[in-house]
Structure 1
C-alpha cells in the first residue's frame, strides 16, 4: 500500500521529466501539486468530521438523559477529538511527499509533536470545563468555588504542556528541564516579574470574563472613565469620554477595585438615582381647603379621594377631635408630593416599569429632607439618559411649589445683601 502511494506521489514528477522538464523544476512542481492535494484532503476530512462525526455525537447526546455529554458539545470536545483524523492523514502522507527534503521533515516532526501537545491540552481543558459546568448544576456543589479549582488545575496543565513543548524543541527530558527551570526560577521571577504578573492577570481576566474590549469601566485610581479599546499582556488601554487615552497595568484589574458598567449595558434599563432637598419648615398637615385645591391636580385626584375617605372613616370611628389638625390621622403635603412623583414616574414613557421604581425619604440633613428618586430609564445611551433625567427633575422641581413645599438652597451673596438691606431699612 505504501509503495503504491509513493508511486502515485512521484507520478507527476516522472511525467514532467519524460516531457523534457528540468528534474529540479519537476521535483518542486510535483511537491507543490502534492501539497495542494493534501490540503484538499485535509479540508475534506475536516468537512466530514464537522457534518457527520460531530452531528452524530450531537444526535447521540440528545437521546441520553444525562446533561454531561451536552456540556461536552458546548465545550467543543467532539471538535477537538475530531482533529486527530486530519492530523493522522497529514502524519502518514507528509513524510512521503517530503522524502527528498529531510530538513523540512525534521521541522514537520517538531511541529506535529507540539500540535499534539496543544491539542491534548485543549481536550483536557474541554473536559475540565464540562466537568465544572456539570457540577454547577448539582445542588451539593452550589457553594463550592469550582471556578477557582478549575483555574488552578488549568494553569498547571498549561505549565506541564509548555514543559513538554520546550522539551520537544530542546531535546532535553521533561524532568531535566523542570530541574534546570527550578534552579533558575529566582532569576526568572526577578527578570520577568511584570511579564509573569501580566500573564497571570490576562489569564484571570479571560477566564473570569472580568473585562472585555468595548466595556465601559471607571478606574478612579488611574483616572480612567471610558471604553476599553485594547487588552494585552502588559496594559489595558481605555479611551476616556473626553477622547484622551489612559493605560492601566493589566495586573491592576485583578489587584485593585474598579467599576465595570457592562451589567448596566446588558440590563433592560439604566439607573436614575438623585435627590431633591425639601425645607423641613415647609412640611405641614393638609386641611380640607388644601386637599380641595390639590384635587385639581389630575394625577393624584383619585389617590386623594381614596386616601381621605379612609382617613375620615378612621377618625370618625375613633371619635377623633379634629378641631385641632394634629389629632388623628392626616395627610401631609410632603406625603402627597411623594405620591405625585411616584405616579408621575409610573406614567412616564421613558421609565422602565418592570424594574425598581421608588420615591423615598432619606434621613433629614442640615440641608433639608432628601426626597430620593430611584428608577431606571429604558434608553441606556448616555446622552438620552441625561435628557430623560433632566426632564424628570425639571418637572418635579417646578411642581414642588404647587404643594406649598420649598426647596432648600444655600443663601447667595445677593440674598444676604438683600436681607441686610431690608433689615437696615426697617
Structure 2
C-alpha cells in the first residue's frame, strides 16, 4: 500500500489539494506523469548526446586509430543514446500505469519492440564501422566484406523479427519457433536468391574469383569495367563509359566472364592484331629488289647474310637461275615479316621478356593475315591504344617499300572510278 502510494505522487497531490474524485485523479495522474516521463526522457537523451558529442568525439579526434571515427560516422553513439533512453522509460512505465495495470502490458510490449529495433540498429552501426575500418586495411580492400555484413544482418533481423512476433502474439518464444518450423519451406523459397547470393559470395571469396578493383567483362550483362562493390545479392561494375552494371552474385559462378586481373598483374598487355596482305602482291625478289631493300637498316644484315646463304646453296646444287622461281629465293612478304620482327624487338614500348612474334595465318578470301603478337609495357588503356596505333601506322606505311598491298574492300568512289574508265573511248 505504501509502495502504491509512493508511486502516485501526482494522484495524492490532486486529491489532497484539489479534492478531485478518484477516477479523475487517476486519469490526470497518468497523463501528467507520462508528460513528465517524456520530458525526463528528452532531457536524458539530450544529455547523452551532449556527452557523446563533447567527450567521445574529442577522444575520437585525438586518437590515432580511425575506428572511433567510423563509430561516429555510422551514428553508433546516437543509437546508443536512444537505446539507453528507451530502457530508462521502460523501467519507469510501471509507475505511470500503477492505476491501470491492464494497459501496462501493452505499453511495455510496445517499448520492448522499440528496444529490440534499436538493439539491431546499434549492432548494424558497429558492423558498418567494422566494415569501413577493415576496408582501410590493404589485406581486406579487395574482400567482399559487405556480403558477410549483410548475411549477419539478415540473421539478426530474423531473430529480432521472431522475438517481436512472439511479443505481439503473446506466445512463448520456443512455442513460436516450433510453429515457425512448419513454414521453413516457404522461407527457403522466399529467401532463395539471398541464399544463392550468400553461397556465391563465399565461393567468390574463397576461390578468389573476383576482387574489388578487378576489371571484368561480361557480355551477357554489358559489363566492361572495374568492380567497386560486392554484396550479398549483386556485384556492381563501373563501366568505362561511367555507367553502372549490376550483376547478380550467383551468376559469377554459374556464367562465364573475363577477369583482366592476370593482365593487370603481369608484365604487359597483349597486342594481337593482323595486317591483311593481298596475295597477288607477294612476289619473289630479284637482285635489284634485294639491293634496294638492303638500304633498310633493320633488315640490311639479315638480307646480306641470307643472300649469301641462298647463293651458296643454289651454286652447290647447280640451280638454273635463269628462271627466278628455281632454287631458293627471298620473297618480299618473308623479308617484310623479318622487318616487323626486328621493328618490334627494338621498340621500347614492347615487353621483350614476354612472347613477341609475327606469324602468317591461313589465307582467307580477303588475303593473307600477318598477325602481330606481342605485349606492351604500358597496361593503361589509353597508352596501350596509342602504342598499337603507332606500331600499325608505321607498318601500314612500310608495306609499300616491300611492294606489298594491304587488302581493302572497294568503296563507292572506287567502283565509280572504275566504271568511268570503262566508259571512256579507247
| TM-score normalised by length of structure 1 | 0.59
Cα distance, 1:325–1:172 mapped onto 2, change above 3 Å: farther
Following TM superposition, by how much is the alpha carbon of 1:266 offset from its aligned partner in structure 2, in angstroms? 0.3
1:386 maps to what in 2? 385
Match of 2:300 in 1: 301
CA deviations over 1:275-309 (Å, ceiling 9, x no partner):
01000000001111110000000000000011111
Q: Distance in 2 between matches of 1:205 and 1:329?
A: 58
Q: 1:182 offset after TM fit, Å?
A: 7.5
**SS of residue in 2 equivalent to 1:363:** coil
Instruction: Give the CA deviation at 1:188.
Output: 2.5
Q: Does 1:192 align with 2:196?
A: no
**Map of 1:399 onto structure 2:** 398
Name the residue aligned to 2:168. none
| 1:343 matched to 2:342 | yes
Q: Output one character per residue of 1:184-211: Cα deviation in whole Å (capped at 9) or x when no partner.
A: 5422321100000100110011101111
SS of 1:308's equivalent?
A: helix
Secondary structure of residue in 1 paired with 2:271: strand
Tell me the residue number matched to 1:39.
none
- In 1, the alpha carbon distance for the partners of 2:286 and 2:185 equals 82
Q: 1:352 to 1:238 in 2, by over 3 A?
A: same
Q: Give the match's secondary structure for 1:229.
A: strand
Q: How far apart, CA to CA, are the structure 1 residues paired with 2:409 and 2:244?
A: 38
Instruction: Answer yes or no: is 1:314 the counterpart of 2:313.
Output: yes
Query: Runs of 4+ in structure 1 displaced over 3 angstroms?
Result: 169-173, 179-185
* Equivalent residue, structure 2, for 1:115: none
TM-aligned CA distance change 1:182 to 1:412, over 3 Å: same
Whole-Å separation in 2 of the counterparts to 1:422 and 1:305: 43
Alpha-carbon distance change, 196 to 287 in structure 1, aligned in 2, over 3 angstroms: same
Partners of 1:275 and 1:184 in 2: CA distance = 62
Partner of 2:361: 362
CA separation in 2, counterparts of 1:314 and 1:186? 84
Distance 1:319 1:186 in 2: 90
Aligned-pair RMSD on alpha carbons? 3.5
Q: How does 1:220-231 map to 2 (within 5 A)?
A: 220-231=219-230
Distance in structure 2 (CA, Å) of the matches to 1:185 and 1:306? 82
CA apart distance, 1:395 = 0.3
2:375, 2:180 → 1: CA distance?
56
2:137 corresponds to which residue?
none
Classify the secondary structure of the residue corresponding to 1:189.
helix
Q: Distance in 1 between matches of 2:260 and 2:216?
A: 6
SS across alignment from 1:247: strand
Quick one: distance in 2 between partners of 1:415 and 1:214?
49
Distance 1:293 1:181 in 2: 91
Q: Deviations over 1:125-173 (max 9, x none)?
A: xxxxxxxxxxxxxxxxxxxxxxxxxxxxxxxxx9xxx9xxx8xx99999
Compute the displacement of 1:265 (Å). Answer: 0.3
Q: Is 1:204 aligned with 2:183?
A: no
Counterpart position of 1:257? 256
What SS does structure 2 have at the residue aligned with 1:385?
A: helix
Match of residue 371 from structure 1: 370
After superposition, residues 263-278 of structure 1 pair within 5 angstroms as: 263-278=262-277
Aligned residues: 275
- 1:313: how far off? 1.1
C-alpha distance in structure 1 between counterparts of 2:303 and 2:209, whole Å = 50
State the alpha-carbon separation in 1 of the partners of residues 179 and 355 from structure 2: 60
- Structure 2: runs of 5+ lacking an equivalent: 1-150, 164-171
User: How many Å separate the matches in 2 of 1:185 and 1:319?
Assistant: 92
Q: How does 1:401-416 map to 2 (within 5 A)?
A: 401-416=400-415
Q: Distance in 2 between matches of 1:209 and 1:339?
A: 42
CA distance in 2, matches of 1:224, 1:263: 18
Residue by residue over 1:1-42, the C-alpha shift from the partner in whole angstroms, topping out at 9 and shown as x without a partner, is xxxxxxxxxxxxxxxxxxxxxxxxxxxxxxxxxxxxxxxxxx
User: Structure 1 pair 293/186, CA: closer, same or farther in 2 (3 Å)?
Assistant: same
- Structure 2 partner of 1:217: 216
- d(CA) in 1 for partners of 2:384, 2:279: 31
Structure 1: 5+ residue stretches without partners: 1-157
Radius of gyration: which is bigger?
2
Show the 5 A alignment for 1:73-152. Answer: none
- What residue in structure 1 maps to residue 247 of structure 2? 248
